Amino acid sequence: MAIQWFPGHMNAAKKKAAEQMADVDVVIEVVDARLPEASTNPLVEELRKFRAKPCLKVLNKIDLADPDATAAWVRYFEQDDAVTAYAMTTKKPADVARVIDKARALAPHRGVPTKPLRLMIMGIPNVGKSTLMNALLKRRVAKVGDEPAVTKTQQKIYLDKNTAIIDTPGLLWPKIAMPSDGLALAASHAIGANALIEEEVAEWLAGELLRRYPQLLAARYGFKTAEMDAIAVVEGLAQKRGYRIRGGDWDYEKASHMLLQDYRSGALGRISLETPETRAAALAAFTEA
Ligand code: G4P
């Protein structure tokens, strides 16, 4: 009988996920290409290392991300021998189609009917896991709950006779490492931002855009960004669009919402909120403080 060993600090949810991962050949970890580290769940890395599983790191939503930053992230992630990084968008069927081939290359001993390739798709909310899963399933779906090998607690969905996807475990949210990660995740809609903090998130985003992509702010809104700070960007947007509250003051709430929408939809252009270099610098500053 195999000995089940878990480190003492593993809580019940983690243990369950670690158990499920035991029967997986490749972990497909989906992150948001605009913020690949901030949208990484450290728990996934911890578990896959604990189980010594190869990982296909999918940087999804590249249609929204800065191509240079994405290329730098792919090089960065592939420094880990157990990782293949794949930049893609679920909007392109050809990109989706390559996911299985990439995963198969990480477990060449699997992928035949007697030993199907077993995949698990993991990642934080809103990175595109369901969209990817649905796009993959368009090929062919067969639920195999009535097969003797399949337990009731774990569902396998076969994409074809050689490839199965194991039900993704629900993972708890990790602690967000830096406050700026929380803001980047909220700006990118991975965590909810109510109207009150939407203004804070938009102001933070405006600061990042001024620093990283002033040319995109100039192109979309006609701003002279050299003279602007973050508040001026939000106010400038209210002015451009004529957003006022009763009494005549600028409507920061509406302008904040509009800025976030323009970023999320890609209307502002292809934007990444971190690169390997800026991430390292932010982490260093955070640990020093
Ligand atoms: P999840 O299972 O990881 O939680 O994510 P899900 O598939 O639900 O996708 C979250 C949002 O991201 C969806 O938009 C989805 O259409 C979008 N999305 C997924 N893949 C891509 C991609 O490659 N490019 C772009 N541009 N969008 C993608 P939504 O429901 O409208 O949510 P939101 O964008 O308003 O947050």
Q: For every one of its 289 residues, what pLDDT tens digit does the chain have, with 9 covering 90 and above? A: 344 455 555 677 778 888 888 999 999 999 999 999 999 988 888 889 989 999 999 999 999 999 999 999 999 999 999 999 999 999 999 999 999 999 999 999 998 889 999 999 998 888 998 899 889 987 544 344 334 333 334 578 888 889 999 867 666 566 677 889 999 999 998 877 665 589 999 999 999 999 999 999 999 999 999 989 999 999 999 999 999 999 989 999 999 999 999 999 999 999 999 999 999 999 999 988 7
Whose CA is closest to atom 22 on ligand 1? 61
C-alpha to C-alpha distances, 113 to 65, 158, 159, 272, nearest whole angstrom? 38, 11, 12, 41
Of residues 93, 8, 5, 92, the one with CA closest to residue 51: 5
What are the helix (H) ranges across 149-223?
Answer: 179-187, 195-212, 214-221
Mutational pocket test of ligand 1: of 30, 131, 185, the residue with most ligand atoms within 8 Å of the beta carbon = 131
Known binding residue 127? Answer is yes
User: Are 129 and 37 within 8 A, CB to CB?
Assistant: no
Per-residue model confidence (pLDDT) at position 8: 57
CA of 266, closest atom in ligand 1: 26
Per-residue model confidence (pLDDT) at position 20: 85
DSSP state of 226: G
Per-residue model confidence (pLDDT) at position 6: 52
**What are the structure tokens assigned to 228, written together?**
């602007």
Of residues 41, 36, 98, 82, the one with CA closest to residue 62: 36
Per-residue model confidence (pLDDT) at position 142: 38
Contacts of 185 (CB under 8 A, 6+ apart): 35, 38, 39, 124, 176, 191
DSSP state of 23: T
Known binding residue 151? Answer is no
Centroid of ligand 1 to alpha carbon of 127 (angstroms): 6
Per-residue model confidence (pLDDT) at position 144: 40
**For residue 124, how far is the Cα from the chain centroid?**
6
Known binding residue 61? Answer is yes
Known binding residue 128? Answer is yes
Domain spanning 179-288 has what CATH number? 1.10.1580.10
ipTM of the complex: 0.96
User: Are 155 and 145 within 8 A, CB to CB?
Assistant: yes
Residue intervals in the chain for CATH 1.10.1580.10: 179-288
Centroid of ligand 1 to alpha carbon of 89 (angstroms): 10
**For residue 166, how far is the Cα from the chain centroid?**
20
Q: Identify the three-state secondary structure at position 237.
A: helix
Q: What is the CA radius of gyration of the chain?
A: 21
Per-residue model confidence (pLDDT) at position 145: 39
Centroid of ligand 1 to alpha carbon of 125 (angstroms): 9
Known binding residue 126? Answer is yes
Known binding residue 134? Answer is no
CA of 92, closest atom in ligand 1: 23
Per-residue model confidence (pLDDT) at position 151: 37
β-partners of residue 164 are 118, 158
Residues with CB under 6 A from ligand 1: 60-61, 63-64, 89-91, 123, 125-131, 189, 264
Centroid of ligand 1 to alpha carbon of 132 (angstroms): 9
Q: Identify the three-state secondary structure at position 78.
A: coil
**What are the structure tokens assigned to 71, written together?**
């290329």
Per-residue model confidence (pLDDT) at position 16: 80
CA of 188, closest atom in ligand 1: 36
Q: What's the one-letter identity of residue 36?
A: P
Could you please state the CATH topology (level 3) that the domain comprising 12-166 is classified under: Rossmann fold (3.40.50)
Predicted structure pTM score? 0.90
CA of 123, closest atom in ligand 1: 3
Of residues 182, 18, 151, the one with CA closest to residue 4: 18
Residue intervals in the chain for CATH 3.40.50.300: 12-166
Residues 142 and 179: their CA atoms lie apart, in Å, by 43
